[in-house]
Structure 1
Amino acid sequence: MSTSPSPSGAESAVRIGALVPLTRPGWTEAGQHLLAGLELAVGEVNDAGGVGGRPIELVVRDTAADPQRAAAAVEELAGLGVAALAGEYHSVVARAAATRADALGLPFLCSSAVLDALTEQPTDWVARISPPQSRGWRIYADFLLDAGHSRIAVAAQPSVYWATGTRILRDHLSAHNGTVIELDMSALTPAAVCDALVEHRATALLLLVGHPEPAVPIVKFVRRDQRLAEVLIGAPAGQPEFAEWAKLLGEDGAEVPFLRYLPERLTPLGARVETVLRERLAQAPSFVAFEGYDTVTVLAELLRSHDINRARTAESWPRVAVEGTRGQIRFSRTPGISVWQWTWAPIQVVDRDPAEPERLRIRYTG
């Protein structure tokens, strides 16, 4: 698809493959933010002398949220001789990429996908920057309980990701006398969702669906139904993070809490990176952009320290310690997680301020 520009002597460049959703049905705005972070870090690494005097070249492939397309891209990139893989936003797509990378012996640092089971069996070839879904969604459940919500409806589409999220929520809420009511969005219209919320006396509705369809119509219907004036709408997967949400929904898109993987205060590096990313994106950078930047920062340190060798890179996850935009990044083995994991990636529950929908406010910190 494309490669980032590299300095003269590009034939000696260290190539890193980047998997990014840049076309529909992929979440393209997330893909753009992820790529902006990846590219910024590559440029800064090269300005500082690259890896052992060799520039990094980012070889970008569009996954379009298609697992088969991602797996094929991993095959292609492995054949092109990339030193490692980076990126991906969609969890199901990242799982396909991780499975193929594991089979091929290609190091893959996953930037932004959270599905716990990225591979069926434990592997040394894959590591992850973003927190696992089990941790993030339990924190979201704690936020709901803390806010007084115990009868939760989930409007969900068929997907391993959504089904896993529903199970995490149900297990955590049921342990605290909460109830999860599943609404099958392959069979219900937004109007029918409103009727079901009334019937089940739900106090919160979580959107486990795609954006903008059907998330946006559901929000509009619920906001306009007077019977549901007190119902909280939530979106743990982060749909309201991006500017398109505010553009399509305006005031209706405020007060929809979602998970964001940022600390209350960025590191000094993070503050500087935020300024540059804001200029490049012409909007506030999402947490996904910071994940992209941190991914390349970690890979560059690994490649500098442990030679440009796939096997040595894969062996080195537990030995890396890198100051990223959101804290020091170290990888360890986490029970129930099959890949090397940055265990303490920061997690917040935030929403858009109804008084100023362009502004995000922190509602809960995990």
Structure 2
Amino acid sequence: MSAIQNTVRTQLGAAVQRNKALSIDGILERMFAKTFTGLVYPQIWEDPEQDMKALNIQHTDHVVTIASGGCNIMSYLTAQPASITAVDLSPAHIALNRLKYTAALHLPDYDAFYQFFGKANVKGNAALFDHYIAPYLDQQSLDYWNGRKGLRARRIDMFEDGFYRYGALGKFIGIAHFMSRLLGVDYKEFLACKTQAEQEAFFDAKMRPALNAKLIKFITSNRASLFGLGIPPQQYEALAGAADGDIHAVLIERTRKLMCDFPLHENYFAWQAFNRSYKQDGTGPLPLYLQKEHYETVRNNVHKAEIHNRNLTDLLEEMPAETKNCYILLDAQDWMTDQQLNAMWKQIDRTTQSGARVIYRTAGTDDILQGRVDTQILGNWHYDQQRSQALNLEDRSAIYGGFHIYTRK
């Protein structure tokens, strides 16, 4: 095993493993950590437009974020911040982010960029990679994308075969589509809906009965069933806690929100969930970074983004005091022990400038910091409960129970 692989396994183990290896919880935690050594999110599943409303990113702001699939970082670049520093524990996510940065700089035009990441299923994308991207990519990322996928193909060939169908999330959605067909649900009917009223009618007539099938209830009662959504065992418990332990009720409500609370022509998360790609004719909703009007802005600012295969707390420890303005923690705190939370928030508090903003999401509905993070640290911050709740309602990804905003006093 290489030194890089050893480091990754150690970092992932520290992030998610709390129990003895031979216990049921310990086995599940190690299974989840194994999932994260590969590609999990071909597309991030947090709504960057709500992030940007909460953060109000300025040209002088220095942003720190967890990367995941990188759609968030690429979209934040449309606000033209001073810098974006990202971290992720998955080597595959590191390679994907660096692929996006390099492609934005070196692909010849918007059409090529959109073909590669918007359609992501066009023959010739591997040739675009070889000609325009590979010569400028760092060696580790180049080795990843040139690595084997199956017996003959390279990983980069996923962009010729429907990239968003890959990774743990893509495969999870694929299994969900298979189960849906068995239960008589045709998502083509849903994607043809013209109004939210039609979307709601489809959900009530087709989707709700399918979700209430005994087979679905049995599958979702297993804590490992949601690994494909990037939900570890401890976060599964928080998710269930949002409905007094009834995980099935939570999944029905989150699915209803995804399918009904936003018009289909505005919600690219719904297209990814039920079409397994963005709308193929190019007329559907897209992340900000894939919209043509933002292409030049992204291209001109992508040099400001950097990513590290590091634990966020460790990286913050190396940063100078009072130098950062915006922190995006995704849902990582749901995984953390009190000791890990306090270590991270100590560094956030040290590196932040006055007026800085922190945002994060939770599987459950409630803020998880009160009573867990040292009051001397948390006392320096203001929790905006009203705005947090409002933006959570507007989050089109619909998967989380809580969206939370803290501002440095």
Give TM-score scaled by structure 2 length: 0.28
| Greater helix content | 2
Give TM-score scaled by structure 1 length: 0.30
